[in-house]
Amino acid sequence: MTINVALDGPSGAGKSTIARAAARKLGYVYVDTGAMYRSVALFMLDNGIDPEDKEVVTALLPKVKIDLAYENGEQRVILNGEDVSERIRTSAVSMAASKTSSYPEVREFLLGLQKDIAKSNDIIMDGRDIGTVILPDAQIKIFLTASAEKRAERRHKELVEKGESISFEEVLEDIKKRDEQDMNRETAPLKQAEDAILVDTSELTLEESIDAVYNTVVNKTLKQEKTEPSEKKPSSRDRELMPVRPISKKHKLGFFHVFFYNLLRYIVLGLYHLFYNISYEGTENVPKDGGNIFASNHRSYQDPVFIALHTRVPISYMAKEELFKQNVFFTALIKAFGAFPVVRGSGDTTVIDTSVEKLEKGRNLVIFPEGTRSKDGKVGKGKTGVALVAAVAQTKVIPVGINFEGRLKFRKRVVVRYGKPIEPVKMGITGTSPRDLKKIKNEIMENIIGLVR
Ligand code: DC
């Protein structure tokens, strides 16, 4: 039996971002039905058809061919052979899609495609009528919403960042108009299914919203597994998981690269011993080769340097995108120490891919599983990303504890502890299922906690 999660809700509630990230964490396929409606609308606009002209829109449907493709776990929409995944995201297409999706013929046209995908995959399908019309038997139904103002605020920010000049009021009006159209249309109006769980993201961060959806699915499926043990078929769950690609441990970095890195490392090591009262423990746990992950608690912007000072191979680490927009000197410095940007909360496969590439190149990768710096020194909740990178690359994770009291100041006592390497393969883990990832993550977090004291 496959697991179907129906996720409905109004425009701009963050459905697609949240559903995509939750699906990735669960190892499910994410299906964005809005993209299908958008593609129909784009076809009409490209051919100079007025979306209001129902007769013509309906008559042209046989000329529309929509296919879904998956690239690195990301859905791509193919319209008559052209990948239109980006072109369907404009305001003009949004408005047109809202209109054309109100025609029963258009809905009928897409229904088969949507039902077929759900039959053979564990999926999270997002849309407006998934829980009510497309998958009325879905095991889990979620209605994801947020106040119109909050949705407009987020959408406005997104558009401004893309360079569109539009006022907040215009965006709010657009959203209200689309809500009105989507809720009051005769066919399949947007409404919460009776058995759907309501998730309101107005006051939640993106991470919290993803967790809310993820936890709802996990809790529900666990309950179902308990009540219907015979239904359990782990094989279907393994589909569409991120594939494992063990990295080769061959040394690939150039001699001079490693030489100059070590020269710089020794200079900085000397300086840091002057700046801070710093000591290291467990350096025998640091592998001499590259391609390893260092998973550490996060206390300060100096952490990557603290960790790198005892690795003989250059490191790479993920840094918030904002850090690359500071002054030129700072940006150059963090880049020299191997920083690469991540957009926070993007939950992207590209981040995982980039991380694995760095490891494959022979670098060591520093990851802070908590995501943000801890203000009080306590180790917070870890995210699964680190486990996913370790599982995909099938490589060692060295837990690290960075210890100092209060704020980092001149001559402050700092203790950096490296723990024993954790090896997913030795834990019997050879896949990337949610359960496997949780096991690795828990092991890593427990070890980090043990090194912070
Ligand atoms: O989720 P979205 O904004 O990408 O959706 C685009 C339009 O398509 C939106 O106006 C509502 C419509 N839609 C729909 O009617 N039914 C769905 N299952 C998904 C989207």
Dump pLDDT digits (tens) for 155-176: 899 889 988 889 999 999 999 9
For 72-76, 244-248, 307-311, 411-415, which range has the lowest pLDDT when averaged over its residues?
A: 72-76
Separation CA 255–CA 261 (nearest Å): 10
Query: Of 219-228, 336-345, 350-359, which gets the smallest average pLDDT?
Result: 219-228
pLDDT at 388: 93
Is a pLDDT exceeding 80 seen at residue 28?
yes
Distance set, CA 233 to CA 1, 236, 240 (Å): 7, 6, 15
Give the model's pLDDT for residue 231. Answer: 41
Q: Whose CA is nearest to atom 14 of ligand 1?
A: 128
Distance 431 CA to ligand 1 centre (A): 35
Identify the helix (H) or strand (E) that includes residue 78. Answer: strand 74-79
pLDDT at 350 over 80: no
132 secondary structure, DSSP code: I
Q: Is 174 in the pocket of ligand 1 (CB under 6 A)?
A: no
Of residues 117 and 101, more confidently modeled: 101
DSSP 14-71: SHHHHHHHHHHHHTPEEEEHHHHHHHHHHHHHHTT--TT-HHHHHHHGGG--EEEEEE
Kindly give the number of the ligand 1 atom that is closest to the alpha carbon of 102.
15
**Which CA distances in Å does 263 have to 256, 260, 270, 271, 313?**
10, 5, 11, 13, 11
404: which 2 tokens? 């100092």
Distance spanning both ends of the chain, measured CA to CA: 47
Q: Decide whether any atom of ligand 1 lies within 6 Å of the 132 Cβ.
A: no
On whether the CB atoms of residues 291 and 362 are closer than 8 A, the answer is yes
Taking each continuous run of H as one helix and of E as one strand, the counts in the chain are: 15, 15
Centre of ligand 1 to C-alpha 163, Å, is: 24
Reading phi first (left if > 0) and then psi (alpha if -120 to 50, else beta), residue 371 is in left
Give me the sign of the Cα torsion angle 46, 51, 53, 54. positive
- Per-residue pLDDT, averaged over 345-356, amounts to 73
Query: Does residue 368 register a pLDDT over 90?
Result: yes
- Does the beta carbon of 34 lie inside 6 Å of ligand 1? yes
**Residues 6 or more apart from 406 whose CB is under 8 A from it?**
none
The domains found in the chain, sorted by start residue, are 4-227 (3.40.50.300), 255-451 (3.40.1130.10)
- Is residue 129 within 6 Å of ligand 1 at its C-beta? yes
Angle between helices 385-393 and 349-360 (to 10 degrees): 50
Distance 129 CA to ligand 1 centre (A): 9
Mutate to test the pocket of ligand 1, among 33, 90, 103, 187 (most ligand atoms within 8 A of CB): 33
Residue 370 CA to ligand 1 center (angstroms) comes to 34
Counting from 1 in the atom list of ligand 1, the atom nearest the Cα of 12 is 3
C-beta of 11 in contact with ligand 1 (< 6 A): yes
Q: Measured from the CA of 110, which atom of ligand 1 is nearest?
A: 18
Distance CA 220, CA 139 (A): 8
Q: Ligand 1: does its nearest atom lie under 6 Å from the Cβ of 100?
A: no
The span from the CA of 122 to the CA of 25, in Å, is: 13
Q: Residue 238: helix, strand or coil by DSSP?
A: coil
* Average pLDDT value for the chain: 88
- Is the CB–ligand 1 distance for residue 178 below 6 Å? yes
The pLDDT value recorded for residue 228 is: 53
pLDDT, tens digit, 9 for 90 and up, residues 210-251 = 999 999 998 888 766 555 544 444 443 333 577 788 888 766
User: Which pLDDT belongs to residue 344?
Assistant: 58
Given this model, what pLDDT does residue 184 score? Answer: 86
Query: CA–CA separation, 379 vs 273, rounded Å?
Result: 25
What value does the mean pLDDT take over residues 407-420?
A: 94
Q: Which of 75, 100, 128 to mutate to test the pocket of ligand 1 (most atoms within 8 A of CB)?
A: 128
Model pLDDT for residues 65-91, shown as the tens digit of each residue: 998 887 766 788 999 999 999 999 998
Coil, strand or helix at 214: helix
- Alpha-carbon distance of 97 to 197, in angstroms, equals 26
**Cα 11 to ligand 1 centroid, rounded to whole Å:** 7
What would the mean pLDDT of 418-440 be, rounded to a whole number?
Answer: 88
Q: From the CB of 127, is ligand 1 less than 6 Å away?
A: yes
Q: How far apart are the CA of 312 and the centre of ligand 1, in A?
A: 52
| Average pLDDT of span 135-141 | 95
Q: What is the mean pLDDT of residues 95-112?
A: 94
Q: Which of 215-224, 231-240, 257-266, 409-418 has the lowest mean pLDDT?
A: 231-240
Is the CB of 98 inside a 6 Å radius of any atom of ligand 1? yes
For ligand 1, atom 2, name the residue with the nearest CA.
Answer: 34
Burial of 411 (0-12, 13-18, 19+ CB in 10 A): exposed
Q: Alpha helix locations (H) across 374-433?
A: 385-393
The average pLDDT across 12-32 equals 90
Per-residue pLDDT at 382 exceeds 80: yes
Q: Which of 188, 196, 98 minimizes the C-alpha distance to 144?
A: 196
Give the separation between CA 212 and CA 159, rounded to whole angstroms.
Answer: 26
Most confident region among 23-27, 99-103, 112-116, 244-248 by mean pLDDT: 99-103
The predicted model gives 380-389 an average pLDDT of 90
Rounded to whole angstroms, the Cα distance separating 91 from 30 reads 23
Q: What is the pLDDT of residue 270?
A: 95
Comparing 227 with 368, the larger pLDDT belongs to 368
What is the CA angle 313-430-445, rounded to 5? 60
Cα(162) to centroid of ligand 1, in Å?
Answer: 21
